[in-house]
Amino acid sequence: MENRKISVRFIARTAILLALTIVFQTIGRAIPLGQFNQFITGSLVNACLLIAAATTGIWGGAAVALLAPFGAILTGASMPLPFAPVVAVGNFILVLMFVLIKKNQILGIGVGAVLKFAFLFAGVNIFVNLMRLPAQKAGAMIATFSWPQLVTAAIGGVLALLVLKALGKVIKT
């Protein structure tokens, strides 16, 4: 019976955090915030990734991290579908570092943010060259998947820590 409770709790938390991630992505595109949109939406999405990892472990965090870019595309993101797996892996790197360095959550977020940024920056540069995207589209993608990823992962980490602290014992598994 206990395994079933844990399984149901895991599925429910993972599903809620994935749904919340998709809601943030949808709202982020619906509200015209201009260039600030990425910083607000990206930070909220990264917070959801880290909260999922903290409340469900690596598997729930990985599920949200890997599915989030596809949810973004389904809700109208202008990201090319072939680039979604690159974003998914970048998200997973953030989650993985947070889980692996869980004894020092701030360090885990910092390392995860830097590695996510580095992976996405390298990935987007390789992608735009392989796909031979027009200069304007390539420039927009590189701008989106460069330093703002570092900033949004860090802000998302701070938000996640605040939410996790507020939730306290409620989220203990």
* Position 162 pLDDT exceeds 70: yes
**Rounded to an integer, what distance in angstroms lies between the CA atom of residue 85 and that of residue 119?**
12
Residue whose token pair is 């990206």 = 42
* Position 158 pLDDT exceeds 80: yes
Residues 4-16 have a mean pLDDT of 85
Residue whose token pair is 């991630």 = 21
Please report the sign of the dihedral spanned by the C-alpha atoms of residue 147, residue 32, residue 61, residue 63. Answer: negative
Q: Report residue 142 CA to chain centroid gap.
A: 18
| 98 within 8 A of 109, measured Cβ to Cβ | yes
Return the SS3 of 153: helix
Name the token pair of 90.
């970048």
Neighbours of 148 (CB within 10 A): 17
Structural domains of the chain sorted by starting position, each given as residue range(s) with its CATH number in brackets: 2-171 (1.10.1760.20)
Over the Cα atoms of the chain, what is R_g? Answer: 16
Least-confidence region, from 1-5, 19-23, 129-133: 1-5
Residue whose token pair is 């890997």 = 66
